[in-house]
Every structure is written in structure tokens, then in C-alpha cells.
Amino acid sequence: SKKIVIKIGSNTIANADGTICREFLQGLAKQVNFLMKQGKQIVIVSSGARIAGVSTIGKWMRKEDMHYKQALCAIGQVELMDAYRKAFETQQLHIGQMLLTREDFCDAHRTLNIRNTLFTLVDEGVVPVVNENDTVSVDEIRIGDNDTLAALTANLWNADLLILFSDIDGIYDKNPKENKSAKLVEEVKSINQLIKNIEIGDVNSFGTGGISTKIEAARTVNDYGIPMILTNGKKENILLKLLEDKEKATIFW
């Protein structure tokens, strides 16, 4: 695979206390640099703005009001990008922020524009970091989760592979956080069959979409002929190991 979209979940980028995990970003930057030197092209879709906002301004934590949430994202997005910039700088890589909304994917003119921007960044050797523009996306019109955003981005860019990083090794037959005996599903050829055979459990701490949006993301890209891999992003050198087929994961064809 040459063109790879990598989606980083909140649970992957944040430490247990909600702060951004610098070690994770450092490892990511190194691996991305390594892959780019091999001629691969990388686009990142990253969550974590809200949790970064919460850990910056802890006192707002309990407010569920929509504008507070959006304000938290406005604060956290800066923290998030600052952390990305610092990590990628150590690898002499530039990053470019793209904040998108649902309308960007619905209107042909806007879609063409973001597509061209994305291609330009990648052609220039810059790593695009995509997120939903939470400060303008009210609940009713949001994409709502970055699994979907990552799938739409992969289709828009004609990616060869979508990788979702979460805090679990893949899809299990039951929620692995609650069932020690849960079994990993390594390969999914029929999503409808998968849904009949597994239990879908709750979203954990900082997550938004949960496992359902990941499965739907697979459907979205698979329809365009793009495979998707779900795996645990917190493992060391996960990207490199994954591409060498040496890591536990679920692949959707």
C-alpha cells in the first residue's frame, strides 16, 4: 500500500489522565518518517481535541452544554496540533492542519477544494492532520466521529489502506474490556455476517464512536475497494510491525 490514512483515536492519543501522550506522538512521527522515506504517503486523522481541552482547562469538565464542548475543542485543537508539530519537527517533517465538516463532503465544489489541498500537502511532503471542525459543527450536522471522517478522507484521497488505531487489538466477539474470554476476529470479508456474530459493547472512557462506527467505516471504504485495519495504536512500532504482518489486528477486505 502506498497511500495510507491513519486514524488516531482519543484513547490512543491521551494518557489515562486525559493529557496528550507525547511518547505516542514521538513514536508515530518516527514511524511516519520511516515509511515516507520508503516512498509511502501518509494522511493522519486525529481525535483528541476535546480531551486535550478538558485536560488544559480542567474546571469545565462537568459541563455538557454544546457550546462548552465546542469551546473545549477550540482550546484543545491548539494543544493537539502543538503536540503534533513538536513531535514531527524532530523528524524534520512539517504538518498541515485540515479542519473539515460534513458539508465539505456533500458539496462537489468544496469536496474538490479539500481534495486538491490534501493532494498538494502530500505532494509537498507535508503530513496532513485532519480533524472535524468542531467549533462550527453543531450536533445535528456533525460527522460526529473520526472513524467516519477517516473513511470519508480515505475515499476522497483514493487511499490504498485505512488504519484505525484504538486501544484494542481489533474486533472481538464480545467487548474485550468486559470479557476476558473475548476472541479476536482477524479477518472480515462480510460485514453483515460479522454484525450477526459479535456483541457490540459500550464505548470506553474518552471514546466517541465505539466499535459500531469502526465497522461502518470499514463498510464505507470497502465499498470503494479500500481495505481497513483496526489495531492497538499504543503498541511500540505498531505501524511498521503491522505492515510486516507481525501484529494482532482485524482486517476488513
| Residues that bind ligand ADP in the complex, under the rule CB under 6 A | 9-12, 166-168, 171-172, 174-177, 198-201, 203-204, 206-211
Q: Residue 9 or residue 128: which is nearer to ligand ADP going by CB?
A: 9
Please, what is the minimum distance in Å from the beta carbon of residue 107 to ligand ADP?
27
Nearest approach in angstroms of CB 18 to ligand ADP is: 13
Nearer to ligand ADP, 132 or 167 (CB): 167
Minimum distance from CB of 173 to ligand ADP (Å)?
7
Query: Which residue number, 98 or 215, has a Cβ lying nearer to ligand ADP?
Result: 215
Tell me how far, at minimum, the Cβ of 131 lies from ligand ADP, in Å. 13
Task: Kindly report the three-state secondary structure assignment for every residue of the chain.
Answer: CCEEEEEECHHHHECCCCCECHHHHHHHHHHHHHHHHCCCEEEEEECCHHHHHHHHCHHHCCCCCHHHHHHHHHHHHHHHHHHHHHHHHCCCCCEEEEEECHHHHHCHHHHHHHHHHHHHHHHCCCEEEEEECCCCCCHHHCCCCHHHHHHHHHHHHCCCEEEEEECCCCEECCCCCCCCCCCEECEECCHHHHHHHCCCCCCCCCCCCHHHHHHHHHHHHHCCCCCEEEEECCCCCHHHHHHCCCCCCEEEC
Which residue lies nearer to ligand ADP by CB, 128 or 176? 176
Nearer to ligand ADP, 149 or 159 (CB): 149
Q: What's the min distance (Å) between Cβ of 2 and ligand ADP?
A: 25
Residue nearest to ligand ADP (CB): 207
